[in-house]
Amino acid sequence: MVDELPDTKAARVDWVIRAPDNAEMKRRYDIWAKDYDADVGSAEDYLAPLETARIAKGVLDQSALIMDAGAGTGLVGEALKEQGFNNLVAVDYSAQMLDIARRKQVYTELHTCDLSVQTEFETDRFDAVITCGTTSQMPSNSLREFVRIVRPGGKIIFAAVPELWVECGYAAVFSEMRSAGHLDVVSRGEPFQMMPTTEPDFICEVWVMNVN
């Protein structure tokens, strides 16, 4: 079989982001999984997981039941574990990405499912959903699902790229849900370069939302 994976990290990022639909994006992540950490996993270059986990530590109890949504290979789970969190559930629709995450032994459960439609998780199950590196990829409908599965008073912690938040439809879903009284923004972190060495133009902010 011809290896479809592009040669460079930048081309791989571009390849998954430009997938024509959700199913094709999942297939591309399955192919990229074995190389993802070598490409993206350096804590010196990919700052978003550490920054997201640091902010989570400021707003969540360490016993909180947290879903890592779009967990991928578990980089966010590893960062959360370093901050003292132990009750972590990984969810991703790429089974190959989750296979890498499983080996890291930071999650109590791992589930392969699509977060842009209603999932198997019961309403109000989680104290928090955390998602990082997903704004351009996971369909904005997933924000509705996050609100359903997080208990009232729980948090959604979203490492968002502000332009993509608007472009990819999250702003519209958010404003509809806020108008309906379902969630509010508690804090909006300082902008930072999520990949300062390799992608200096990717600016990210970690937003904390409260589910009402």
Ligand X SMILES: C[S@@+](CC[C@H](N)C(=O)[O-])C[C@H]1O[C@@H](n2cnc3c(N)ncnc32)[C@H](O)[C@@H]1O
93 is a site residue for ligand X (CB under 6 A): yes
116 is a site residue for ligand X (CB under 6 A): yes
Stretch that binds ligand X, among 1-9, 71-79, 102-110, 184-192 (CB under 6 A): 71-79
Helices and strands, counts by H and E, the chain: 8, 8
Stretch that binds ligand X, among 2-10, 58-66, 112-120, 183-191 (CB under 6 A): 112-120
SS3 at position 168: coil
| Least distance from ligand X to the Cβ atom of residue 23, Å | 10
For 112-151, the DSSP string reads E--TTS--SSPTT-EEEEEEES-TTTS-TTHHHHHHHHEE
Cβ proximity to ligand X: between 125 and 212 the closer is 125
29 is a site residue for ligand X (CB under 6 A): yes
| Least distance from ligand X to the Cβ atom of residue 181, Å | 26
Cβ proximity to ligand X: between 16 and 64 the closer is 16
The C-alpha torsion from 6 through 12 and 17 to 18, rounded to 10°, is -20
The C-alpha torsion from 171 through 173 and 178 to 183, rounded to 10°, is -100
50 is a site residue for ligand X (CB under 6 A): no
Q: Rounded to an integer, what distance in angstroms lies between the CA atom of residue 21 and that of residue 26?
A: 9
Interface with ligand X by CB under 6 A: which residues? 22, 26, 29, 49, 70-72, 75-76, 92-94, 97, 114-116, 132-134, 137-139
